[in-house]
Structure 1
Amino acid sequence: MKNYRYHIHLHLLAPVLSQAAGGHAHGLDTAALHDSNDEAGVPSLPGSLIRGNLRHAWKYFADILENNTPAEVSPITRTHITQWLGDKSGDQYDSPQRAQLHFSPYWRAQSKVSATGILHRIQIDSDTGSVKPSALQVIETPFAAGEKITFSGYIDTALDPEQAEFLYHWLNKGLRYLPAVGALKGIGFGRIKDVDIDYAEIQIQAQTVFKPRQAAFGICIKPQSEFCIAQHHIRDNNFATQDFIPGGVIKGILAQQVGKEGPRKHEYPQLAKHFDQLRITHAFANCETRKQRPIATPLSLVTIKTAEKYKVYDLALHSQAGLIDRQAPAFAPDWKGEQAQLIAEHCQQAMPPARNIQVRTAINRQDTGFSTLGNARDEALFSMETIQPEGYHWLANVDCHQIPAADRDLVIEQLQQLFSQGLYGLGKTKSFATVECLPEPCKPTASHALLHEQRVIISLQSAALLLPEIGAIPATNARQQLHEQYHKNWLQLSASSLKLSHFYATQTLTGSAYLQKRFWFDKAYNPQLLTQAGSVFVFDIVDVDTAQEKLQNWLTHGLPQLDGREDWQTNPYIANNGYGEIAVNLKRHWQQQPGEAWHELS
């Protein structure tokens, strides 16, 4: 199997229109889409538009050729279409049917904008045959009517040579069959004049394969286009993105290639054999000029307002409420823009990347067959928040300690080779990202020794499943029960070597029909209660030797599961997917104490 890129040039006759969402220039009803990653704002067609039109054409071919094909001809089938373009989850476990083809997000016009004018359309009243009142539409036209415009994009995939040639054949047929693309096709917009396609094997720039001094190394991920890693959402038609890339997402992309059902598992046999033992942490964003992995904002940090500016303090070593310089300190839920920016600087965090909003709609399909009606489905509009990655990279660590020593070096070598080919299909936009392997793990800011001044302070760097017994905690006024559950669970994790003194933590419920079908199908449905990143737990040391051993193990491998469910197929919140990562005894907990300014409330 090899990686291929198909370069495609669509030669269209203007006017051409793919509508942009969001705010428009004053007086415009319909604006043309422009590449949001380009400062010049080049008119573009979205890759999803090309994908949808290809699906439409190919399904038409498959329906016709299903029972009308000579034996010597190899027709396109519904199976090919599902493999190439994917489909919605269909089985009882909601197993995804991911696409093999990855379309460039924007197919950009290769000609300069030759017209900045507008077109007008009116609607005719069906009863009177005259112009319908208040039905004038003003349309942006970047190109003059009749002008030949070339829109260029690419499709990446991994196929065998014979399959690559078969795909080339049907790409030509599918795109040449299309009469037009974009909006307003019925009145002559976006007519396809010609199509040029060529393809070649992607030449991977070889990275130096190194043997890390430890059984771990860092990776630097650079998405090449906007992407969306959806948060847990309340509404089905709005997807907000997270700032980080979960380790489970990175492993999922790799698993598509070398997992148990991966098409390339025979090329990387040792990696495929030990894949489940591989741990990848969440990838956190930072400016491209910084190679340090930022820390999660500790929830023990507070701010107070002075005469000229805000000051930041850390209350991790204080177990009771109090005042700082006779002011009530502001915790994370109360921070405004200036305070949040100050805290980000203290935690070596970059300012959040810019965001964009994409608006899409589902397309109507007939109940039988694969043919589509092609029009927008009623009440199926949805929006997707995306991250603009320019100027940022995402840093994560790869831990191979659990892999047997006899195979570990070979697994690391194969893993680095696979990373050198990049990550395809990142997030909901199916973006491509390059990956640079770093010889050392990305370490957070400075920390004291694991046991410092007879205290241990653990700060969660990613969410952790520390409260599996959700029924034991009331929904409100549960301070005592929450402390008891955390105390009991930390005693279990630490083999009674650490006694919880106090904590600063937040929790969130997570659950859905999707999680039930994919991961919790073997039991009755209950949401899970995750302790969020940034939560801080302060401990007294009971057994020095055992505590030292446990803390070192947690730093290296992440927190284990209290109920022993370490299988990703039944529990997505395991350490190997990036959850339960910790930092121990960050120096800021001691350095940023309020000192004499602190006045404890009795």
Structure 2
Amino acid sequence: MKQYSAQIAMTVLGPLLTASTGVEQYGLQRAFHRNSRNEPVIPASHIKGKLRVALEELATTEIVQTEESASSETLEKSKYGIANQITKWFGRRSDDNPQEQGYEPAPGMLYFSDFSCQVVASEQAHAGKSQGKAEGSKKDDTLRRRARIAIHAKARTAAENQLREVEDYFKSGAQIHCTGSVTFYAENLESALRTTAMLQSGFTWLATLGAEKGIGFGRLQQARIDMPIEKPPKVSSLKDDALHESTGLHLRIRPREPIMVGGVKSQRTNFVVSEKILSGGLIKGALTAGLNRGHGVLPLHREFSGEHAHEFPNFRNLVTHFENIRITHAVPALKNHPRPVTFPISAIKCGAHYADTALCTDAFPLFNNEAPQYFIDWKSGTDELETIFGYAKPKEIFVTRTEIDDKSRRAQERNLYTYSYCCPEDRHERPIEWICNVDFSEVPATARRQVKIEFFKAVELYLDRLGKRNSPVEIDVGDDRFPPAQAGGDLIRDGLAIITLQADAVMLAPESVEPGKNMLPLYEAFWAELSRGEDKTGPQSLELVDFYAHQTFKGGYVYHRYLGM
């Protein structure tokens, strides 16, 4: 499969409103969607959704026109073929009968970018912010507004409590030039041209864009898709003698746009918070999908195994030993800074001082008549401890999304969600990268070097998207493990070993955890079993003295979501 990209140019007549991000002005119900750089854009999800609806309508129209001349068997095949092609391009809907089609992810093959909006900066075309009150006075940052009302169906007058004020970023009649791109995979140029031709038909069918359905809002004047251009084949920068004989590599991940990772929606809210740390399983899954996509393997989530190695000519060793590769969690750090280290939860704050109570056996006095703070609340000040241990805090943006009902063209009931995204910079606009290590120690020594080489090349060539929204990323691969922000001390000192977990670990069976039960015997049994070695028959080499821990339950999300149990 080859990767193609096509530029898309649209001309939309104002007024135009796409409302996804939050409103920052009091009394304003809707504001124009902005990206993390505060630039007005039409979100990719809006273009993708509008095109899907347009192509589904066109497919229905085509079937109706040929219904009289086609046999029932031919018509059924036509319906299935068109619907299957649209699902392949845009992905399966969340409510498409998962009991029959499975619960596995089925993302689409079309990747749209956000569409930038530009007009000639003139009073007639662009509204933006209102002018300052007077020269030398404080600038008025209030957004320009437009009032909207709903008409009562019977009285034909303004309905009660239905007055809304929305941002009037583009004035009526303004020609708004919107540019973006679509990236997809196809077997050859002919197949790519068929895809862009169908997308062009979808744009031709569309009449309006944006959130408002009123007359005159977001009129699509014209849309043009350029010739798809094949992405030049990547050539790995790795030389055969570049890697050392070590058992590790490291990855430095830099998203090119805000990224949404993990996060499970609670039934009690419609707010989903992105994880700040990228799990190793997420990275392995994205690499699996990238390799499958690049070699034309469907479904994209199919796991690697030795029996499929022949389908990946240049990555046979990697596919065979993929399950023996361990990837640590990718932790956010400022660019060109060391990899962060998780600080122990036994750390406390006493006034302006910090201490670790892991080895304290006696009661310690109050500091300035204040009790020490565990699980320090950083909202009260600067994250001193996290900074010392190398952690960076990505800036967050909030995006509201909904699914549109095919008939009413309005938001579906109970399908309005707000997502928290992590930006590739912090609140001071300093760039952030996510750093993880890759461990090959479980790979047989005879194949380890070749597996490292193939892993290095696979990441460079095929790992270009991550997260729930398949956000584009850039990744640098380096030899050996990345230096940590804080180096560990001696493993054993005075007969004691202090172990700080760097990520959540499955230690206890859920049925063994009872409310109010003393956890010490459970943890003692875990460490005793762990220290006996892989065969579990050796002598116990570790005895738990004390612990600082908290527990959480995870899993069962798919079961509870789809079966409602």
TM-score (norm 2): 0.81
Q: CA deviation at 1:233?
A: 4.4
CA distance in 1, matches of 2:233, 2:362: 57
1:377 CA drift (Å): 1.0
1:357-436 matches, within 5 Å, as 357-365=398-406, 373-390=408-425, 391-421=431-461, 423-436=463-476
Distance 1:204 1:347, change over 3 A: farther
Structure-1 residue corresponding to 2:554? 510
Deviates more, 1:181-190 or 1:168-177: 181-190
- CA distance 1:91–1:272, shift in 2 (3 Å): farther
- Residue 374 of structure 1 and its aligned partner are, at CA, apart by 2.8
Higher mean alpha-carbon deviation, 189-198 vs 276-285, is at 189-198
TM alignment of 1:276-315, pairs within 5 A: 276-290=323-337, 292-305=338-351, 310-315=352-357
Structure 1, 276-285 or 57-66: larger mean CA deviation? 57-66
1:9-50, Cα deviation, whole Å (9 max, x unpaired): 111122211124423434534322222x22xx3321111110
Q: 1:498 aligns with which of 538, 542, 552?
A: 542
Pair 1:298–1:274, CA change in 2 (3 A): same
- What residue in structure 2 maps to residue 127 of structure 1? 154
Report the AA paired with residue 101 of structure 1.
Answer: L
Q: What's 2:127 paired with?
A: 115
- 1:127 alignment partner, SS class: coil
Instruction: State the distance in 1 between where 2:197 and 2:264 align.
Output: 41
Structure 1 segment 524-535 matched on structure 2, within 5 A: none
Kindly report which structure 2 residues correspond to 1:23-62, keeping only aligned pairs within 5 A, or say none: 23-35=23-35, 37-38=36-37, 41-62=38-59
Aligned residues: 499
Alignment correspondent of 1:227 = 259
Which digits, 9 at most, give the CA deviation of each residue in 1:81-127, with x for residues without a partner? 111211145246521112222222x2111325522454333433333
The 1-side partners of 2:442 and 2:158 are apart by 73
Q: In 2, distance between residues paired with 1:204 and 1:317? A: 56
CA distance in 1, matches of 2:432, 2:479: 20
- Cα distance between partner residues in 2 of 1:443 and 1:334: 26
Deviation sequence 1:253-311 (CA, Å, 0-9, x none): 11113368566845533322222222111100001131x11111211111111xxxx10
Q: Give me the whole-angstrom Cα distance separating, in 2, the residues matched to 1:241 and 1:388.
A: 11
Structure 1: gaps (5+ residues): 366-371, 526-602
- How do 1:222-371 and structure 2 match up within 5 A? 222-235=254-267, 237-258=270-291, 261=298, 265-266=312-313, 268-290=315-337, 292-305=338-351, 310-319=352-361, 321-323=363-365, 325=367, 330-338=372-380, 341-350=383-392, 352-365=393-406
Deviation at 1:217, TM superposition (A): 0.5
- TM-score, normalised by the number of residues in structure 1: 0.76
Answer yes or no: is 1:455 the counterpart of 2:496.
yes
Instruction: For 1:316, give the aligned amino acid.
Output: A
Q: Of 225, 231, 252, which aligns to 1:202?
A: 231
5 Å-filtered alignment, 1:85-124, equals: 85-88=90-93, 90-91=98-99, 94-104=103-113, 106-113=114-121, 114-116=126-128, 117-124=144-151
Aligned-partner Cα distance in 1 for 2:263–2:48: 25
Deviation at 1:336, TM superposition (A): 4.1
Q: Shift in Å at residue 196 of structure 1?
A: 1.8
Distance 2:379 2:29 in 1: 34
Distance 1:247 1:14, change over 3 A: same
Q: Write the deviation string for residues 162-216 of structure 1: whole angstroms up to 9, x where unpaired.
A: 4322211211111222111112244121111221212212346645214243121
Deviations 1:218-245 (A, max 9, x none): 0000011111223344335221122111
Q: In the alignment, is the contact (CA less than 8 A) between 2:10 and 2:179 conserved in 1?
A: yes
Q: Kindly provide the amino acid, as one letter, of the partner of residue 442 in structure 2.
A: Q
Deviations 1:469-492 (A, max 9, x none): x3233212x23xx11111111111
Whether the aligned pair in 1 keeps the contact of 2:23 and 2:30 (CA below 8 Å) is: no
Contact 1:422 1:434 in 2 (8 A): no
Partner of 1:369: none
**Partner SS state of residue 553, structure 2:** strand
Q: 1:79 matched to which residue of 2?
A: 84
Show the counterpart of 1:145.
172
- 5 Å-filtered alignment, 1:463-502, equals 463-468=504-509, 470-476=510-516, 478-479=517-518, 482-495=519-532, 496-502=540-546
Provide the C-alpha distance between the structure 1 equivalents of 2:367 and 2:163, rounded to a whole number of angstroms: 64
Q: What value does the CA root-mean-square deviation take over the aligned residues?
A: 3.0
Which residue does 1:178 correspond to in 2? Answer: 206
Q: CA separation in 1, counterparts of 2:154 and 2:257?
A: 48
- Counterpart secondary structure, 1:467: coil
Deviation, structure 1 residue 396:
0.4
1:489-536 CA distances to partner (integer Å, 9 max, x unpaired)? 111111011111111111111133416799xx9xxx9xxxxxxxxxxx
Aligned partners of 1:107 and 1:332: how far apart in 2?
A: 46
Kept in 2, the 8 Å contact 1:51–1:85? The answer is yes
Mapped to 1, the partners of 2:380 and 2:26 lie a distance apart of 33
Identity over the aligned pairs, expressed in percent? 26
